[in-house]
Structure 1
């Protein structure tokens, strides 16, 4: 599921190039293909995240997949810009539904909070794989003269197999658990989690991380070009063919390193203090961004993609630890809250960076300065988390009550 979602969401940059030519839309209009699906995910996570706790994991996942599959197959008749954006927005809503169900399911199949974090890193690793193969599929389709819409048809086929699998696989037994006051699982109860310090803390962390990360795949190509006004001279400032190739495929290099780091994270999070790892890795991101700006594009060519290694484990761990701070019967709701802030960061971060860059002559360097500020705030937050360890007692308590372990 995570890979299928990434195949479509992280291909939007390649698709936008085609849509702008086919439908003669402006940059602002084309940007809706990214921002509206993110808005759909955000609102779906916040307003529909409780479904995983109310209906159960399996029905919620199947419902989300069915909605996503219907949107994907509808791309076969999508020959109008408004319809294309509408279907992308619908797919975003669907992602919010099945992803919150999947995130809650991870808690059901985990036997400890450590295993929960390792499993979450594994799931997000497959997201990283999808982020690599999705743009490659689009590029191949276009090169073969095939419409890019077939990417969504392919994703719809994967979705169909996932629905069949979800129907056949035996899920862990889930029993809805209303609270001690008799309050039933509902949207309003889910929305109240926003005020919880654990949910809010990890959600703000997710917002800051995604806002900084999005600078790489949205603005790094613009920062690395030599001459934005000439396609022929775009990478002429790099002295060798190797560096030119790295500049061209810098985003792919970033995604590969991020995916590899998440697979390593499965092992890392079971052997090391998660708070220490996140604090050190967030500091390394700040170093990569700062030196990349200070040394110019010839240094950033190596350091910006390298940041993918250090970004790899941060978001899955935020998700895992944030969800693990709550009983299992609330996992869907809190996953939806974190997902809301995640999508909000993905939508607003690049937009703010674009505004700052435009205000300074259109140089993407200034947008990366904003991203560095996001990363720096994240580092200080994780430094505080490592020193004070505010979640230790909460996680220890739920380790015993929800997973039957007594650390």
Structure 2
């Protein structure tokens, strides 16, 4: 099959970064247990990850095609592998912060490169939307795998146990294998190369001009709001399970994996469904369903008390229900990313991917910080009710994005 090796490599890269990036929710919980820091202090880990993603994306987005997508992926994988082998021997909070910063910087390279690569190996808009959904579903599989990996190494009985750091040795080995795979995967990047003689200053100017397009502005708002919603829930779900539902730490982490698995299933199904129906109708229905699930699930947690967990049947019903929100949120991010990239020429995909990463990172960081603040001062139920506000705002933003997409298509056809 054409492009098989590079597709497998892209899937694995996204899976591994799903493990590392979204381990932040688990590590937020462990930081409170192991280091004794407050919820708001632990929330800073999200900022170390996301702000680094945003900064590095902004710096490299306009000229990443000069570096090359394949070479950028190699750099990102190698950097995280090194960090994973160093951190377990240090075990300080600052070392964990730096590891998330390295992971964020590397993911900036990976995500821009992956989005650019998808544009090179697909030929139609529907094929682009479908492959994007499958790639993002592997990210969610990575998140789910991470919950299982970390929960295995967590010691519920001893909060001061550093056993959980050993998981990084295993993850580092996986990154080295991924580095080998991408190195042997062929990729023709000639269609993405910048025009000969284009200066770096011109590249940044073009990126700013791109950001001034109404279609891009409407998309950026959607991407920002979506990631704010997703990360505010996903990063704090282990803590919600532990502090509000009173589940043991390892079980809290495992139960958070339900959101990752439901999101992965949602994205796999979206990869098939979006070939047949309108992306806008699908996403709007999903947002209404997600809001309804919040209103149903959170009240179920109001009467939760300490549980003695011997079997999965002992886990409270609320712990199973709320994470299913991932299924309804699942199609939104890959679909809007695909729509905006499909509306632009291939030589602008690298720059646009950089903008996607920047504003996604900012949304994720802000969402986690806001949720951490509300969680600490007003409780976990109020913090998760907060998601209704950005869900409502995203519904309006999505309508505007669809209008801008139609207008852009008409203008492009007329010109």
State the TM-score, normalizing by the size of structure 2. Answer: 0.81
How far 1:3 sits from its partner (Å)? 0.7
How far apart, CA to CA, are the structure 1 residues paired with 2:409 and 2:113? Answer: 22
How far apart, CA to CA, are the structure 1 residues paired with 2:189 and 2:366? Answer: 38
Report the CA distance shift for 1:48/1:248 in structure 2 as closer, same or farther (over 3 A).
Answer: closer
| Alignment gaps of 5+ in structure 2 | 1-12, 304-316
Equivalent residue in structure 2 for 1:283, among 273, 285, 288: 288
Task: State the match for 2:76 in structure 1.
Answer: 64
How far apart, CA to CA, are the structure 2 residues paired with 1:369 and 1:30? Answer: 21
Task: Tell me if 1:45 matches 2:57.
Answer: yes
Task: State the match for 1:211 in structure 2.
Answer: 228
| Alignment gaps of 5+ in structure 1 | 237-244, 402-407
How far apart, CA to CA, are the structure 2 residues paired with 1:215 and 1:113? Answer: 31
Task: State the match for 2:171 in structure 1.
Answer: 155
Query: Is the partner of 2:190 in helix, strand or coil?
Result: coil
Report the CA distance shift for 1:116/1:234 in structure 2 as closer, same or farther (over 3 A).
Answer: same
Task: State the match for 1:367 in structure 2.
Answer: 383
Task: State the match for 2:393 in structure 1.
Answer: 377
Task: State the match for 1:29 in structure 2.
Answer: 41
Equivalent residue in structure 1 for 2:357, among 328, 339, 351: 339
Task: State the match for 2:324 in structure 1.
Answer: 306
Task: Please tell me whether the aligned partners of residues 15 and 142 of structure 2 are also in contact (alpha carbons under 8 angstroms).
Answer: yes
How far apart, CA to CA, are the structure 2 residues paired with 1:281 and 1:330? Answer: 30
Note the aligned Cα RMSD (angstroms): 3.3
State the TM-score, normalizing by the size of structure 1. Answer: 0.83
How far apart, CA to CA, are the structure 1 residues paired with 2:144 and 2:102? Answer: 23
How far 1:325 sits from its partner (Å)? 2.1
Task: Please tell me whether the aligned partners of residues 291 and 388 of structure 2 are also in contact (alpha carbons under 8 angstroms).
Answer: yes
Query: Is the partner of 2:146 in helix, strand or coil?
Result: helix
Equivalent residue in structure 2 for 1:317, among 335, 338, 343: 335
How far apart, CA to CA, are the structure 2 residues paired with 1:353 and 1:26? Answer: 13
How far apart, CA to CA, are the structure 1 residues paired with 2:26 and 2:400? Answer: 39
Report the CA distance shift for 1:182/1:350 in structure 2 as closer, same or farther (over 3 A).
Answer: closer
Equivalent residue in structure 1 for 2:139, among 116, 127, 139: 127
Task: State the match for 1:112 in structure 2.
Answer: 124
Report the CA distance shift for 1:284/1:24 in structure 2 as closer, same or farther (over 3 A).
Answer: closer
How far 1:249 sits from its partner (Å)? 5.2
Task: Please tell me whether the aligned partners of residues 121 and 313 of structure 1 are also in contact (alpha carbons under 8 angstroms).
Answer: yes
Instruction: Give aligned pairs, total.
Output: 383
Report the CA distance shift for 1:130/1:395 in structure 2 as closer, same or farther (over 3 A).
Answer: farther
Report the CA distance shift for 1:274/1:40 in structure 2 as closer, same or farther (over 3 A).
Answer: same
How far 1:157 sits from its partner (Å)? 1.8
For each residue in 1:371-406, what CA deviation from the matched residue of structure 2 results, as whole angstroms up to 9, or x when unmatched? Answer: 1010011112224445x3x3146468989x9xxxxx
Segment of structure 1 superposing worse, 99-108 or 37-46: 37-46
Task: Tell me if 1:253 matches 2:265.
Answer: no
Equivalent residue in structure 1 for 2:150, among 138, 155, 169: 138
Task: Please tell me whether the aligned partners of residues 43 and 372 of structure 2 are also in contact (alpha carbons under 8 angstroms).
Answer: no
Task: State the match for 1:391 in structure 2.
Answer: 405
Task: Tell me if 1:348 matches 2:348.
Answer: no
For each residue in 1:198-218, what CA deviation from the matched residue of structure 2 results, as whole angstroms up to 9, or x when unmatched? Answer: 222222111111212223324
Task: Please tell me whether the aligned partners of residues 120 and 192 of structure 2 are also in contact (alpha carbons under 8 angstroms).
Answer: no
Report the CA distance shift for 1:396/1:307 in structure 2 as closer, same or farther (over 3 A).
Answer: farther
Task: Please tell me whether the aligned partners of residues 205 and 378 of structure 1 are also in contact (alpha carbons under 8 angstroms).
Answer: yes
How far apart, CA to CA, are the structure 2 residues paired with 1:223 and 1:24? Answer: 17
Report the CA distance shift for 1:305/1:352 in structure 2 as closer, same or farther (over 3 A).
Answer: same
Task: Please tell me whether the aligned partners of residues 53 and 104 of structure 2 are also in contact (alpha carbons under 8 angstroms).
Answer: yes
